[in-house]
Chains A and B, each alone.
Chain A
């Protein structure tokens, strides 16, 4: 299985959580791995373009401060909350779009586990 397929599997598993409407691993310019958007919750699709543009803007901050230990960035937009879990020290983040009123504790654990899986995949590649 290639790195791409391994990352895609982590994202597909993450998408099975009922509170993860959409997810991806990307850096600025949405460069990375994005699952087939037909797998995303239809609720996000009307806002998808705007959400992507807003996420993309966050990468300016991530690129500048991940080296200082910036771990997570979150923002709320309409009825969505977007979580960006930075892959330690890099310009890349695991991103999930969740409902604003989701069970945060559970989502955070799911995200942290996914981030660890991704870090493991990356470390095995290097």
Chain B
């Protein structure tokens, strides 16, 4: 029998995420999926799932789940305390839970997003080929709420035989590599140098769409707005305020502000762990 999971408490904000819906931007559907894709993949590997299975993305922690049947789970991403019916458990490691057990995530002291994978995957219905919640495009299941029941799928792979995965610590001041974007010419000369030579601070405006940053003004050389043009995850869009918005998983498919630079795909997982108030630096890729 596969387990059902009851959401006792969703914590700050939790969604079902997988690797999203790539390739549908032309019909107005963004990629979405886990903001920190590496942590999602790792959590899935630890419980013997294919890497793209649906799991839970939990902002800051605080999630409480109750299991109806034995299950294997793993928690990755932002480090937080983990208990199973009061017994402490470790991150980045398969955890056995029994029927009636409650899995409780404490609040993360660093980073922003924790991932909880369950052996078999979260088996909510797929929408356009994915189970991810796109918070901007309003696709996929609703965000987790107390009392919700999550179905668990059947296992498809053998256990990986790994007890613990090593994990790089999240840096205090992440450094994100960038390459130039398409609209460098919209900015005064030297703006890219300003971007890579000064620290920026994440404002309180951080969600799955993006991270609004504060720092030296990235000044435009010309007025006006662009007609809408396609964006990618990692794009640094600069509104007239001169303060950049770093696009994450649920970014708009098209945007009207010029993109100065693009954070490398390889550093997007790090970007997804930026907390409000945290300092960030950019450097040339």
Asked if A pairs with B, the answer is no
B interface vs A, CB < 8 Å?
A: none
A interface vs B, CB < 8 Å?
A: none
